[in-house]
A and B are shown apart, each in its own frame.
Chain A
C-alpha cells in the first residue's frame, strides 16, 4: 500500500500575512469587547457577545463524537481584520489576496455570471459583488457585519433564535466572537434562480474563523446559497466554528450547498439549523472532504404543517481525518416529511461516522421519513461508523432507516480493469459513481472540482 501524499494538498499555498488588526491570542472579556468596539456594534450585540462568552466558559466540551481534546483555546487568534474597508470591485483588492483567489478559481466563477460573490478572507468579507437585478427585487445579500449595520432590526429579531448561544459550546463560542459570514433576505414571492455564493478562506496560522450566517427566505420565495471552502495548509491546528441559521417561511424553499475542503489541520465544528414553516422546504447538501476533524449535523426543525426537510451528506476521510457528519430532522408538526441520504468513503486510515437523529413529537401525525446511509471502506486502516437514532412519540408515522457498509465490489473493479483502466482509475470511477446521487445535486463547477478531489484522494491509495 502506497501512502497518499496527504501533504500534497492541491490548494495548499499560503500568502504572506498582511493585516491591519490582529487581536491577541486567547479569549477573554476584553478580546470580545475589542471585537465589538472595532466593529462599532450596537450595545445589544455587545451584550449578546458577552453573555455568549459566559456560556462558552461554563459549557463542557461534548463527550460524544470526535476527539477534540487537542484544541487549545488559548492559542487561537479570535479576530483578524484583513483590510481597512470593504472593497467594491475586484481590481481594488490587494494583489496577494487576488492571487490567492485566482488560484482557486473565483474570477472564473465570476466570469460565468454567477449572481454574487462574498469572499471571506480571514475574518471579514473583503470582496463583495452583487447583481443589480436582485437588489432591485429587494433581495439582500451582504456580509453579516454589513447586515448588522444596515438592517439591525432584522438581525436583532432573528439572530440566535434557531441556535441560541446555549445550544452547544461551539455555538456559544461563535456567538461571542463571530465575524463575517453572509446575511441573506429574500422578500415574499421572489425566486433567486442563480445560486448566491460565498467563498471562505482561512489564511493565518492559528487563527479561528467564526463566521455567522443568517438566511431568511420569506413566504413563497426561493434561494440557493452555495458555500465552498478551500484553505491552505499550516503546521498548527486551526479552528473553524461557524453558525448558520436559516428561516424558511410559509411555502418558501431554501437550498444550502456546502463543499467543505479545509486543509487537514482544521477543526471544523459547525452548527447549522433551519426552521421550516408551513409547506416550506429546506434542503441541505453537505459535502465534507477536508479538515482534520469535522463535527457537523445540519438540522431541519419542521415547525409548520407540511414542511419538508432534506439532507444530503457526503463525507470523505483520508489519512488522519475524522468526518463525524450527518443530520437531524425534527418533526414538530403534522404531515411533515423528510429524507436523509448519506454517503461516506474512508481511505488510508481515515474515519467517517454518520451520526443522525430523527424525531417525531406527539401530534406530528402523518410524518414520513426515510434515512439511508451507505459507507465504503477502502482499506484495512480505515474505519466507518453509523450512529443513527430515531425517537418516535406518535404512532401515525412512517419511518425507515437503512444502512450498508462495505468495500469496493471486486467484480466491478475487475471488470473496469479488464477494460484497460488502472486500479486507481477504476477505484476513482467506482467511488465517483457511489457518491453520484449527491454530486448531481451540486452546481456544476463544484461537481467538477469534487470529482477531481476524489480522484486525487484515490491516487496511491490502492494496491
Chain B
C-alpha cells in the first residue's frame, strides 16, 4: 500500500481503521458516504537520512453522523523532510458529523517540516470539527527532569521519542 493512492468509500454504518507506517509517499482519499460511517487514520512517520515523504489525506463527510479521526505522528532526523497535507470537508447536510485532524512532529538534526497544512472545509453548521498540529523539539522540561534522574541527554531523548511514538506504533503493529 506504500507510495500509493488509497481510495476508500464507506457505506452506512461501516467503520474502518487505517493504521500505517509511512514508508514512502501516500495519498488517502476517504469518502464517508453512508450515514454513521466512521474512519480512523493512524499514521507513523519516521524520517531518516535524506528521506522525503509526503502524506496526503482527503476526507469527505457526505452523510449525516459520520466521524473521522486522523492522528499522525512523525519523528524526523538527519536531513529528512516530511510534507503533510490534510483536508477534511464536511458537505452540506452531513449533520452531526465529527471530524478531528491532528499531526505532531518532532524534529532533530537538520530535518524539516516542508509543508504542514491540515485544512478544514465546513459547509454544515451542525458539526464538530477541529484540528491541531505541533512542530518542534522534545519538551525541554521533560528532558531536564529525566537528566536530573541520571539519564544522559541521548538516553533521555530516546526515551521521550519512544514515549511519543508508542501509542501510534502499537496501533500499527496490532494491524500487521
State A398–B107 Cα separation when bound (angstroms): 10
State A386–B127 Cα separation when bound (angstroms): 15
State A397–B131 Cα separation when bound (angstroms): 20
- Among B52-60, B64-72, B109-117, B160-168, the stretch that binds chain A is B109-117
- Among A104-112, A241-249, A377-385, the stretch that binds chain B is A377-385
Mask, B112-133, CB within 8 Å of A = 1, is: 1111111111111111111111
Report which of B121, B126, B135 forms a contact with A397, defined as CB distance below 8 A. Answer: B135
In the complex, which residues of chain A have a beta carbon less than 8 angstroms from the beta carbon of B108?
A: 395
In the complex, the answer to whether A383 meets B126 with C-beta atoms within 8 Å is no
State A390–B119 Cα separation when bound (angstroms): 11
- Majority secondary structure, A binding face: strand
Smallest CB separation, A101 vs chain B (Å): 39
In the complex, the answer to whether B121 meets A391 with C-beta atoms within 8 Å is no
Report which of B110, B117, B122, B133 forms a contact with A375, defined as CB distance below 8 A. Answer: B122
State A405–B129 Cα separation when bound (angstroms): 5
Mask, A319-355, CB within 8 Å of B = 1, is: 0000000000000000000000000000000000000
A380-B92, A390-B116, A393-B112 known; A385+B125 contact, CB < 8 A = no
How many A residues are at the interface, by size bracket?
Answer: 20 to 34
In the complex, the answer to whether A380 meets B124 with C-beta atoms within 8 Å is yes
Smallest CB separation, B135 vs chain A (Å): 4
In the complex, the answer to whether A378 meets B125 with C-beta atoms within 8 Å is yes
State A109–B114 Cα separation when bound (angstroms): 48
Report which of B93, B113, B115, B120 forms a contact with A405, defined as CB distance below 8 A. Answer: B120
Mask, B123-157, CB within 8 Å of A = 1, is: 11111111111111100000000000000000000
State A398–B131 Cα separation when bound (angstroms): 17
In the complex, which residues of chain A have a beta carbon less than 8 angstroms from the beta carbon of B107?
A: 392, 394-395, 397
In the complex, the answer to whether A392 meets B119 with C-beta atoms within 8 Å is no
Task: Say yes or no for A407: interface residue by CB 8 A criterion.
Answer: yes
Mask, B91-114, CB within 8 Å of A = 1, is: 011000000000000011111111
In the complex, which residues of chain A have a beta carbon less than 8 angstroms from the beta carbon of B133?
A: 388, 390, 399-402
In the complex, the answer to whether B125 meets A397 with C-beta atoms within 8 Å is no
In the complex, the answer to whether A399 meets B120 with C-beta atoms within 8 Å is no
State A108–B28 Cα separation when bound (angstroms): 58
State A405–B127 Cα separation when bound (angstroms): 8
Task: Say yes or no for A389: interface residue by CB 8 A criterion.
Answer: yes
In the complex, which residues of chain B have a beta carbon less than 8 angstroms from the beta carbon of A362?
A: 110, 112
In the complex, which residues of chain B have a beta carbon less than 8 angstroms from the beta carbon of A42?
A: none
State A407–B108 Cα separation when bound (angstroms): 40
In the complex, the answer to whether B125 meets A399 with C-beta atoms within 8 Å is no
In the complex, the answer to whether A399 meets B117 with C-beta atoms within 8 Å is no
In the complex, the answer to whether A387 meets B125 with C-beta atoms within 8 Å is no
In the complex, the answer to whether B129 meets A383 with C-beta atoms within 8 Å is no
Task: Say yes or no for A154: interface residue by CB 8 A criterion.
Answer: no
In the complex, the answer to whether A407 meets B119 with C-beta atoms within 8 Å is no
Q: Which residue on A lies nearest to B113, using beta carbons?
A: A392
Q: Which residue on A lies nearest to B136, using beta carbons?
A: A398
A399-B136, A400-B133 known; A391+B114 contact, CB < 8 A = yes
In the complex, which residues of chain B have a beta carbon less than 8 angstroms from the beta carbon of A396?
A: 137
In the complex, the answer to whether A390 meets B120 with C-beta atoms within 8 Å is no
In the complex, the answer to whether B121 meets A390 with C-beta atoms within 8 Å is no
Smallest CB separation, A221 vs chain B (Å): 33
In the complex, the answer to whether A380 meets B111 with C-beta atoms within 8 Å is no
State A25–B163 Cα separation when bound (angstroms): 66
In the complex, the answer to whether A377 meets B112 with C-beta atoms within 8 Å is no
Report which of A383, A397, A405, A407 forms a contact with B136, defined as CB distance below 8 A. Answer: A397
In the complex, the answer to whether B125 meets A395 with C-beta atoms within 8 Å is no
A377-B122, A392-B112 known; A402+B137 contact, CB < 8 A = no
Task: Say yes or no for A404: interface residue by CB 8 A criterion.
Answer: yes
Q: Which residue on A lies nearest to B138, using beta carbons?
A: A395
Smallest CB separation, B34 vs chain A (Å): 21
In the complex, which residues of chain A have a beta carbon less than 8 angstroms from the beta carbon of B130?
A: 402-405
Q: Which residue on B lies nearest to A392, using beta carbons?
A: B113
Task: Say yes or no for A94: interface residue by CB 8 A criterion.
Answer: no
Smallest CB separation, A396 vs chain B (Å): 6
Smallest CB separation, B56 vs chain A (Å): 14
A406-B127, A406-B129 known; A386+B120 contact, CB < 8 A = yes
State A202–B50 Cα separation when bound (angstroms): 54
State A385–B131 Cα separation when bound (angstroms): 12
Smallest CB separation, A17 vs chain B (Å): 41
State A305–B130 Cα separation when bound (angstroms): 33
Q: Which residue on A lies nearest to B106, using beta carbons?
A: A395
In the complex, which residues of chain B have a beta carbon less than 8 angstroms from the beta carbon of A383?
A: 121-123
Smallest CB separation, B109 vs chain A (Å): 7
State A223–B121 Cα separation when bound (angstroms): 38
Smallest CB separation, B104 vs chain A (Å): 9
In the complex, which residues of chain B have a beta carbon less than 8 angstroms from the beta carbon of A401?
A: 118, 131-134
State A180–B130 Cα separation when bound (angstroms): 42
In the complex, which residues of chain A have a beta carbon less than 8 angstroms from the beta carbon of B117?
A: 387-390
In the complex, which residues of chain A have a beta carbon less than 8 angstroms from the beta carbon of B129?
A: 404-406
Given contacts A382-B125, A401-B134, A405-B120, 4 further A-B contacts (CB under 8 A): A388-B133, A397-B135, A398-B134, A403-B132
Binding site for B on A (CB under 8 A): 362, 375, 377-380, 382-407
Binding site for A on B (CB under 8 A): 92-93, 107-137
Q: What are 23 A-to-B residue pairs whose CB atoms are below 8 Å?
A: A362-B110, A378-B125, A379-B125, A383-B121, A385-B119, A385-B122, A387-B117, A387-B119, A389-B116, A389-B117, A391-B114, A391-B115, A392-B116, A394-B107, A400-B133, A401-B132, A401-B134, A402-B130, A402-B133, A404-B130, A405-B127, A405-B129, A406-B129
The 6 closest A-B pairs by CB, nearest first: A395-B107, A377-B125, A407-B125, A392-B113, A390-B116, A405-B129
